[in-house]
Amino acid sequence: MTITGATRLLAIIGDPVAPLRSPAFFNAAFARMGRDTAFVAFQIPAGALERSWPAFEAMKNLDGIVITMPHKEAVMPLLADLGPTARLTHSVNTIRRRPDGAFEGDMFDGEGFRDGLERAGHPVRGKRILQVGCGAAGTAIACALARAGVADLTIHDSAAARQAALAALLRTHFPRTHVVLGPPDPRGFDIVVNATPLGLQPGDPTSIDPTLLVSSQVVADVIPNPEVTPLIAAARAIGCATTTGRDMHEGQARLAAAYLGIEDWNG
């Protein structure tokens, strides 16, 4: 695809941007579609989003924005409206123009994770799930799992306050889900989720002891890069089915594309 003056823009706003996979992923999809849209990264540092926002509002050929670290919370007061999951999780990852030109946003990180897991053949309704990590990603994922009707959701975080806050959120909004605060012990669960950053850096320990896994369990990790974390590698060695941060990312992209009105998305 050749970018011309007539090419429409989508942007991912974050810092850093060099490691982001969304631009290549979206642009490959647009090339397959023959769609004259370019997906570019705007590297805006923490603290500079608010003063930068008028440009994105003014930019008439910018049709939507994906927001990533460190702006997922900071963007909220800059938007004209928020979708239900953004209100629930207090963060935004996708923004579109309303017909009046103003921006509205919603959060698809958790639903993207669930979508990636289910498309890989692992439905979550009625399942017993252990999720380790209750930060921003973990909050979005736990809400998506609860909404999808998991039977039992055990959450763990090394920061007790985060763990308690997520439990309170889930119990308020998803009273039918049985929420347990437990240790990161995977024994007896159908699906085990790493929603911590562990695995991003070389030499990281695993958030869950992989020697306690058995081959009938599904192990899911949120880390996109490396795609095969030590946890995923150990789980595969045991014979577990696995889904990775790439599956989650593809789910997020699919749902973001739908929200942005890209109807012929086939990525």
**Which residues here bind its own copies, judged by CB under 8 A?**
2-7, 9, 12, 15-24, 27-28, 38-45, 48, 51-56, 58-62
Q: In the numeric block, which tokens belong to residue 111?
A: 């639903």
Distance CA 142, CA 264 (A): 29
Answer yes or no: 60 catalytic. no
Minimum CB separation of residue 46 from its own copies in Å reads 10
- Sheet strands (E) in the chain: 8-14, 37-43, 62-67, 81-82, 94-97, 103-106, 128-132, 152-156, 178-181, 191-194, 218-221, 241-243
Of 72, 127, 147, 156, the catalytic one is: 72
| Cross-strand partners of 130 | 154, 192
Minimum CB separation of residue 113 from its own copies in Å reads 21
Minimum CB separation of residue 63 from its own copies in Å reads 11
Q: What is the DSSP letter of 204?
A: P
Distance CA 108, CA 250 (A): 11
Which residues belong to the active site?
72
